[in-house]
Structure formats: structure tokens, C-alpha cells
């Protein structure tokens, strides 16, 4: 089951090639039928709901056509950009903020944390997800003139399996972003 989980790579779009991994255990192999509990109940922390469903209040409910909250967006970036240059003039650290997009439209933008290589944005950033929705979190460096997009973490499309994991993570070459995503 561990191998299965490691193999659960999802197609990802990124400036600097980012791998998106689920942080979740799935039921493995799709057995289990209902929620997996002895009385048909389910657990959000070990969500084995089948198909396009997710465990909400002890029941497997439709995962799509539903509002989700993205919280605890944790970001870290290398000390230099892809070209080996400082993010800001005179060796300055970047001024980080994130945007959340669904199907290319911004649904949330964080405040900016100045002069730092890592930051946490508590959110919540709310997004209604339907089947086939593309969910993207972009990490930006706010600049005086034109902001620089540092990297992109993308689930294209977001799957019920990813949503059941409640957390997503992109990680590559010193760039990292992770966040929780919970059904409302």
C-alpha cells in the first residue's frame, strides 16, 4: 500500500516542475463499499469513502459541487531564483504571497510576508469544486513593479481521491508548498 501511495503522482503544472503528492491513505484497491466503518460510518482522518465521495459528518457524501476551505498554506522557496540570482535587488529575500485559482479564476489571495524564504498563510481560502475542476496554488514574490510568480502547485483536475486526503503538497528543487483542504 505504501508503494501505491508513493505512486500516486498527479499530473502537475509548474514553472520548475513540481510533483504533487497526496498526504493521504486511501483504502487501497477500492474494496470496502461504503464508508468502511462497521456500521457504514466513515472517518475524515482515514477516509475510505468510495468513488467520487468524501467523508463528512460520518457519512460518505458527494465530493463535488461542494465548498472547500484551503487553510495553513505553507510555502518555502530557495535562497536564489532559478537563474541563481537573488529574488530582490541587492540580495533581498522575496516578499511572499499566494493565490488560489479554480479553473484559472482567482478565488483567494493572501497578504504578503516581506523578506522571507518561507511563510505560512492561514487562510481560509474558499473554493467550490466540481468534478474536473483545476485547483492551483501559485506562490508569488511581490515586487515594486511587476510581481514574479515563483512557482505553481496544480491538481489538474482535482480528484475525489486527493480531496479525501485533506492535504496536498508540491515539492521540487527547494520549492515547496503544502496546505490543508477541508470540505465545509
Q: Count of residues binding Ca ion (CB under 5 A)?
A: 7
- Residue 87 as a binder of Ca ion (CB under 5 A): the answer is yes
Tell how far CA 132 is from the center of its chain. Answer: 15
Q: What DSSP character marks residue 147?
A: P
Beta bridge partners of 70: 125, 181
Binding to Ca ion by residue 88, rule CB under 5 A?
yes
Least separation in angstroms between CB 13 and Ca ion: 22
Please choose, from the candidates 83, 78, 120, 128, the residue with its C-alpha nearest in 3D space to the C-alpha of residue 98: 120
Contact status: 151 vs Ca ion (CB under 5 A): no
Residue whose CB is less far from Ca ion, 92 or 131: 92
**What is the DSSP secondary structure assignment for residue 127, as one 8-state letter?**
E
Rule CB under 5 A: is residue 26 a binding residue for Ca ion? no
55 exposed, middle or buried (CB, 10 Å; 0-12, 13-18, 19+)? buried
Contact segment (CB under 5 A) with Ca ion among 16-24, 40-48, 110-118, 157-165 equals 110-118
Among residues 30, 82, 92, 132, which is the contact residue for Ca ion, using CB under 5 A?
A: 92
Q: Binding segment for Ca ion among 28-36, 48-56, 59-67, 80-88 (CB under 5 A)?
A: 80-88
All three cell numbers of 62: 458527494
Distance (Å, rounded) from C-alpha 128 to C-alpha 107?
9
Among 25, 81, 143, 182, binds Ca ion (CB under 5 A): 143
172, 19 Cβ separation under 8 angstroms: yes
Which of 57, 90 has the CB closer to Ca ion?
90
Q: Of the candidates 97, 133, 139, which has an alpha carbon nearest to the alpha carbon of residue 115? A: 97
> Considering only 3-11, 35-43, 85-93, 131-139, which stretch makes contact with Ca ion by CB under 5 A?
85-93
Q: Give me the residues that bind Ca ion (CB under 5 A), please.
A: 87-88, 92, 95, 115, 141, 143
Amino acid at each position: 500500500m505504501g508503494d501505491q501511495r508513493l505512486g500516486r503522482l498527479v499530473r502537475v503544472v509548474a514553472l520548475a516542475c513540481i510533483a504533487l503528492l497526496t498526504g493521504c491513505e486511501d483504502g487501497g484497491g477500492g474494496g470496502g463499499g461504503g464508508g468502511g466503518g462497521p456500521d457504514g460510518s466513515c472517518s475524515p482522518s482515514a477516509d475510505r469513502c468510495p468513488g467520487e465521495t468524501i467523508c463528512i459528518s460520518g457519512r460518505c457524501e458527494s465530493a463535488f459541487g461542494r465548498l472547500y476551505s484551503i487553510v495553513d498554506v505553507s510555502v518555502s522557496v530557495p535562497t536564489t531564483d532559478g537563474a541563481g540570482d537573488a529574488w530582490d535587488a541587492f540580495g533581498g529575500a522575496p516578499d511572499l504571497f499566494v493565490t488560489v485559482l479554480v479553473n484559472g479564476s482567482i478565488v483567494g489571495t493572501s497578504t504578503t510576508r516581506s523578506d522571507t524564504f518561507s511563510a505560512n498563510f492561514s487562510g481560509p481560502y474558499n473554493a467550490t469544486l466540481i468534478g474536473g475542476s483545476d485547483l492551483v496554488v501559485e506562490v508569488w514574490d511581490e515586487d515594486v513593479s511587476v510581481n514574479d510568480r515563483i512557482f505553481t502547485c496544480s491538481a489538474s483536475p482535482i480528484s475525489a481521491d486527493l480531496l479525501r486526503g485533506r492535504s496536498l503538497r508540491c515539492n521540487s528543487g527547494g520549492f515547496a508548498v503544502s496546505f490543508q483542504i477541508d470540505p465545509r
